[in-house]
Amino acid sequence: MTLNANALVDEVGPESQIEAQNQVSTGRGKLVVRRFLRNKGATIGLVIVVLMFLAAFVGPHLDQWQYTDIDFENFQTAPSGTHWFGTTQTGQDLFALTMRGLQKSLIIGLVAGVLTTSFAAIVGAFAGYYGGWTDRILSWGIDLFLVMPSFLMLSILSPWFKGKTWLILIPLLAGFAWMVTARIVRAQAMSLKSREFVSAARFMDVPGWRIIMRHILPNIASLLIIDATLNVAATILGEVGLSFFGFGIQAPDVSLGTLINNAQQDLSSYQWLLVFPMICLIVLLLAVNMIGDGLRDALDPNAQGAKKKITKGAFEAMIKESTGLVGQHQNVEAIES
């Protein structure tokens, strides 16, 4: 309700509020899209990600070289017409390699990011909705995972998943990245629990899991969408970091991390080997972060207000949540801007 009122004001401007009552209200999806597109940074980010998808999946077909091909006439040559990004020490085409790495980053980021958020949403919502011992046990699990450095754990696990398909990285990366989101969802679920529509459902004997799926999670959908974007960036980073040390994607397959690691060996002479994969990575992460910012502005019209002035209750809760990374939803919203 608040959203519609706000949305109306947002679209038609506060001065024409009275006339607005006669207008046909715009659908929510349309509004979100319109607000998102109004944000320049976010639109640029989206365009960049789409272009990167095209480059990563269509680009290799336009290039005459496969990432496994070796050009015996060109070892470590600079970028040229035949080799757009130059070649590596063994004569592989860097463009094909980089695009292959980018494909991995994009797939891992998208799938693992969404997986992370879904898992976090379920754990957080169950902890917040049920409370009591369920909450205590789940929160304790969240704390425990927060104390264990994900990078350390995944590196230790790496000998175990070495021979297996690289797709296994997706659940693993997600498994060590869900904690902060779960905390935020838990706080949200706790406050939604006492709302009338949830109580009404409970009094009608709707089982808890169905209340969570039908009422709690849809109500924090915007938060979850924003968070999924941020988790996309986090998991991309996680995979590239692991592969950098040889713990992630294994040769002969490539990832942006392995490319950067290989190129880092001869830093002073063959810089294009380093520059192209690195630019791809940074631009991708920047674009994803910008999309996240834009989505937040588009999906949560209150974020702007929360940023300027936080209610006393919210601030209190934030301090009370002293063990948490971030106690309050509003808080995170404001932070990411």
Partner 1 sequence: MAAYLLRRMINYLFLVIIAASVTYLLAAFIFHPENNWLARHPQPSAATIRTELLSRNEWRGTSIWTRYANWVSGVLHGNLGTEIGGGSVASDMARRIGVSTRLLLLSTIIGSIGGVVVGVWGAVRQYKLFDRVTTGASLLIYAMPTFTLAILLQMFAVWFNNTTNTHFLYYVNEVSDPNAPFWNFSNLVDRFEHLILPTLSVSLGSIAFFSRYQRATMLDVMGSDFLRTARAKGLTKNQAIFRHGARTAIIPVATLLSYSAVLLFTGAVFTEIIFTWHGMGEWFITSIGQNDVNSVAAVGIFTSILVLVAGLISEVITVALDPRVRV
Q: State the nearest-atom distance from the C-beta of 204 to partner 1, in Å.
A: 38
The first and second tokens of residue 135, run together, are: 């909450």
Task: Show contacts with partner 1 in window 297-326 (CB under 8 A).
Answer: 307-310, 312, 315, 318-319, 322-326
* Residues in 124-153 that interact with partner 1 by CB under 8 A: 143-144, 146-149, 151-153
Helix H or strand E segment including 268: none
Question: In the bound complex, what is the minimum distance in angstroms from residue 83's beta carbon to partner 1?
Answer: 22
Q: From residue 253 to residue 292, what is the string marking binding to partner 1 with x (rule CB under 8 A)?
A: -------x---x--xx--x--x---x--xx--xx--x---
CB atoms within 10 A of CB 285: 18
- Can you tell me which residue has the tokens 């290799």? 60
How many alpha carbons lie under 13 Å from residue 224 in its C-beta half-sphere?
22
Least distance CB 70 / partner 1 (angstroms): 26
Nearer to partner 1, 24 or 147 (CB): 147
Nearest to 214 by CA among 206, 224, 226: 206
Minimum CB distance to partner 1, residue 100 (Å): 19
Contact (Cβ atoms closer than 8 angstroms) between residue 226 and residue 295: yes
Going residue by residue from 148 to 187, which x/- string records binding to partner 1, judged by CB under 8 A? xx-xxx-xxxxxx---------------------------
CB of 303 to partner 1, least distance (A): 11
Instruction: Retrieve residue 19's tokens.
Output: 């006339």
Neighbour tally for 198: CB within 10 Å: 20
CB of 319 to partner 1, least distance (A): 6
Nearest CB to partner 1, comparing residues 59 and 238? 238
Question: Should residue 245 be labelled a site residue for partner 1 when binding is judged by CB under 8 A?
Answer: yes
Q: What is the CA radius of gyration of the chain?
A: 23
For partner 1, the closer CB: 192 or 285 = 285
Total of residues contacting partner 1 (CB under 8 A): 53
Residue 63 CA to residue 68 CA, distance in Å, equals 13
3-state class (DSSP) for residue 93: strand
DSSP H helices, the chain, are 2-12, 17-20, 28-38, 40-57, 59-62, 94-130, 132-147, 150-161, 169-175, 179-193, 196-203, 208-211, 217-219, 221-244, 256-264, 272-299, 302-308, 312-320, 329-335
Matching residue, tokens 């902060």: 180
187's CB contacts (< 8 A; 6+ apart) are 128, 317, 321, 324, 327, 328, 329
Please say which residue, 97 or 273, places its beta carbon nearer to partner 1: 273
Smallest separation, CB 141 to partner 1 (Å): 11
**Closer CB to partner 1, residue 179 or residue 217?**
179
State the binding string over 72-111 for partner 1 (x if CB under 8 A, else -): ----------------------------------------
Closest approach of partner 1 to the CB of residue 287, in Å = 9
Binding site for partner 1 (CB under 8 A): 143-144, 146-149, 151-153, 155-160, 233, 237, 240-241, 244-245, 247, 260, 264, 267-268, 271, 274, 278, 281-282, 285-286, 289, 307-310, 312, 315, 318-319, 322-327, 331, 334-337
